[in-house]
Structure 1
Amino acid sequence: MEHLKAAVIGVGFIGKAHIEALRRIPNVDVVAIVDSFNVEEKAAQLGVPYAFSDYKEMLDTCHPDCVHICTPNFTHKEIALAAMERGVHVICEKPMASNADEAAVMVEASKKYDKICALNFHNRFYPASFQMKKMVEKGELGQIFDLSGGYLQDWLQYKTDFSWKILSAKCGKTRVTADLGSHWFDLAEYVSGQKIKEVFAEFKTIYPERMNGREAIPVDTEDYSYVLLRFDGGATGMAEFSGVFSGKKNQTVLRVAGTEASLEWDNEKVNDILIGHRNEPNGLLTKDPNLMDPDVAKIISYPGGHAEGFPDAFKQNFTAIYQAIRGKNSVNQFATFKDGLHIMRVCDALYESAHTGSWIPVM
């Protein structure tokens, strides 16, 4: 089988996770990285043959089949367009762009150049989340009427915690709502089969200023948000997103309530699904290919009793995307640029709601 060449642009925490996952996929070679700092040293540490500080030079020199964009949000559009113009497929980190207008340009370009363009909404590729989707599709929960949960972290809990993500010029109009919420919105829609059509939000900024060393920097994005949602299938939803929730390192929770049963998944107990009943004992389904839907079993790498988590979800997501690049189908559907645009429109509507105090339709 022909080997496909991958290049990773931005090799911080998430870029390195991409590289690790790619190396577990047969016949995909990571040939180049692009980064702004110490790129030659990073390439040597990561065992990548080519290193660049300019992504356009990398594209014109290495001619990769696919690029992975792991840079700050405000750079996503220009990098994706440059790649597509050169006939290169794109996998982009979330959120897709700084706003829905930029995301729309990216979608149009993907149509023009007919490239596979995907978002790394990796939560779709945990066995538990895929199993939940299958249970909903089979009608095991009855009619879905409620989705709730959220995504909580604490790495920006203190005033002295600083990141480029607090600045709207780099992350876009919303911070935690787009950075964390985008994952949750996509997961809720993926599992339920319903799209968010109308939103209401309240944003709060705990620290109007944060310290970057000795310099006080004004903060113009939210530290946490509470959102209410209406879905096109009749369900309602409620979620919270925070970067300042003490003790929560990286917790995503999704609860799905139907007229016959309910489901709950917590990514800190990533292999487990809680199944709620009224007239029989509640259940716990732990990842096991012999106990799950046959399609779910196809994205499980190890037998029951062997945990699979964050790196495995990346691997399964990228495997599906690279199969699409080869013209093959996968049992599970990765998120496309079209999906990413919809989520950006959800985030933009939430921003408008938070600043007007009104329910806002998702356009």
Structure 2
Amino acid sequence: MSPQTMESRWSPSIGMLGAGFMARTHTHAARLAGASLASLASSSLASAERAAQSLGYARATTADDLIAEGLDVVHVCTPNTSHLDQARAALLAGSHVICEKPLATSATDAAELAELARSRGLLGAVPFVYRYHPMVREARARIACGDKDAVVTVSGQYLQDWLLGAQDDNWRVAADAGGPSRAFADIGSHLVDLVEFVSGDRITRLVATTRTVHAERNGQEVATEDAVALTLELAGGGIGSMLISQVAPGRKNGLVLEIAGSTESVRFDQEDPELLWVGRRAGSLLLRRDPDTLSADAARLSRVPAGHAQGYQDAFNAFVADAYDAAGGGTPEGLPTFADGLRAAQITDAVLASARVGNWVEVSEA
């Protein structure tokens, strides 16, 4: 991938399953990476035709027909409970797959997809795109330079308010479309992915509690959680806490991660992604993104010179370019794959299990 253009070394022909916000975000990144926009399918042919025209796809079609084309890459941006069947079918048709998170609504189903991609020698990627902020990579590099067991504590939060009121609704609220977990599977998965990616450590066990603030939304019973709080332990001995909420007034996309090592802390705030706080007992630092002074991996993802802000779409562009590069035979650093999607599903299952029984639960590595 070229850090200046985000263009992949391989230019695939792609299909898009879905026509919502995430499909548009994927499409912008795909176009910038040099992909050929072949086919788009949505919930109806009329919806697909409108989206295909708007986004620049050559044709609108049905999901089954799109998958049967055997395109180079299929992007799955449909409701969560459809991910398993659609990603499986695309892999069996010989396509590389980029599937929105959660990869599946259970660890068992996610494991099936991860094994299928591995056995067929195909790329399966999941857009944990916050990995692609350069200052996240800088935090990771700094922690990697420390002692093996240097992580002492981790704390994180991911707070939003878009489902604050009982009148606020979305397909993710219903378990038959979004799956058994909402807030954690939707946004908590990003946070736990960052914890393990940045720290280089694994969550071994946790205790969690969930809360559903609104028992009904627009007259329909709600079976999924609005908020989650959890305490965790890492394999290396570190401990931590997390708070995830989609009902936090005033918070739009408040993803914050702080990791304390034995001599230095790092703190990243997604709403201010050009900065990384480096905490020291004496002489703390506030680093601004500058490719001339960052670690090699962070500098690679710095698309524009220092002083020119990068944001969410830039991170997404870099992820898609890396995914196409990997599908074409490259080995980009830090690409989140179906194995990472499986890992997030394992942690989500542990969170739900802990909330049900009210005790500590081991996180499966199976």
TM-score higher than 0.5 here?
Answer: yes
| Greater mean deviation of Cα atoms: 29-38 or 5-14 | 29-38
Unmatched segments (≥5 aa) in structure 1: none
Instruction: Find out whether 1:226 has 2:226 as its counterpart.
Output: no
Per the alignment, residue 350 of structure 1 pairs with 351
Residue 42 of structure 1 corresponds to which residue in structure 2?
51
Q: CA deviation at 1:247?
A: 0.3
Alpha-carbon displacement from aligned partner over 1:248-284 (angstroms, at most 9, x marks no partner) = 011100001011011111101011101111122x211
Does residue 271 of the first structure (1) align with residue 281 of the second (2)?
no
Unaligned stretches of 5+ residues in structure 2: 1-8
Name the CA distance, whole Å, in 1 between partners of 2:274 and 2:175. 35
SS of residue in 2 equivalent to 1:173: coil
Per-residue CA distance 1:64-93 (angstroms, 9 max, x = gap): 101111111100000011101111000111
Letter in 2 for 1:176: A
CA distance in 2, matches of 1:279, 1:249: 33
SS, match of residue 84 in structure 2: helix
1:21 alignment partner in structure 2:
29
Moved more, 140-149 or 36-45: 140-149
Greater alpha carbon shift after TM alignment, 64-73 vs 140-149: 140-149
- Return the offset for 1:45: 1.2
Matches within 5 A, 1:1-363: 3-26=11-34, 28-37=35-44, 38-52=47-61, 54-61=62-69, 63-139=70-146, 143-211=150-218, 216-280=219-283, 282-330=284-332, 332-363=333-364
Aligned residues of 2:10 and 2:328 also touching (Cα < 8 A): no
Whole-Å separation in 2 of the counterparts to 1:55 and 1:25: 23
Q: For the residues of structure 2 that align with 1:260 and 1:194, how far apart are their CA atoms? A: 17
> Does the 8 A contact of 1:141 with 1:260 survive in 2?
no
Instruction: Summarize deviations over 1:219-244 as a string: whole Å, max 9, x none.
Output: 01111010111111111110111110
Letter in 1 for 2:246: G
Calculate the TM-score normalised by the size of structure 2.
0.94
Question: What is the rounded CA distance, in whole Å, between the counterparts of 1:55 and 1:284 in structure 2?
Answer: 48
Shift of 1:295: 2.5
Secondary structure of 1:71 counterpart: coil
3-state SS, counterpart of residue 217 of structure 2: strand
When the two chains are superposed, the root-mean-square deviation of aligned CA atoms in Å is: 1.4
Q: Is the 8 A contact 2:149 2:237 kept in 1?
A: no
Amino acid at match of 1:107: A
Runs of 4+ that moved beyond 6 A: none
Distance in 2 (CA, whole Å) between partners of 1:178 and 1:59 is 26
Amino acid at match of 2:220: I
Q: Which amino acid aligns with 1:245?
A: A
Tell me how far 1:140 sits from its aligned partner: 8.3
Matched AA of 1:260: T
| 1:303/1:142 CA distance change after superposition, 3 Å | farther
Q: Deviations 1:169-217 (Å, cap 9, x if unpaired)? A: 2212211011111000001100000011101101011111111xxxx10
Task: Tell me the distance in 2 between the aligned counterparts of 1:51 and 1:290.
Answer: 45
Give the superposition deviation at 1:142: 7.9
How far, CA to CA, are the matches of 1:162 and 1:288 in structure 2? 41
Q: What is the CA–CA distance in structure 2 between the aligned matches of 1:285 and 1:141, rounded to whole Å? A: 24
Does the 8 A contact of 1:263 with 1:275 survive in 2? yes
Name the TM-score, length of structure 1 as normaliser: 0.95
**How big is the shift at 1:2?**
6.0
Report the CA distance between 1:40 and its aligned residue.
0.8
CA distance in 1, matches of 2:105, 2:257: 25
Mapped to 2, the partners of 1:159 and 1:298 lie a distance apart of 44
- Contact (CA 8 Å) 1:201, 1:225: kept in 2 or not? yes
Query: How many residue pairs end up in the alignment?
Result: 354
Relative to structure 1, the CA distance from residue 231 to residue 141 in structure 2 (aligned partners, 3 Å threshold; closer, same or farther) is closer
Equivalent position SS for 1:23: helix
The 3-state SS of whatever aligns with 1:144 is coil
1:8 maps to amino acid: M
Quote the Cα distance in structure 2 between the aligned partners of 1:286 and 1:30.
36
Cα separation, 2, equivalents of 1:266 and 1:97 = 27
Q: Secondary structure at the match of 1:106?
A: helix
2:232 aligned partner, one-letter code: L
Q: Residues 290 and 2 (structure 1 numbering): CA distance in 2 closer, same or farther, change over 3 Å?
A: closer
Contact 1:141/1:258, CA 8 A, preserved across alignment: no
Asked whether the 8 Å contact 2:80–2:178 carries over to 1, the reply is: yes
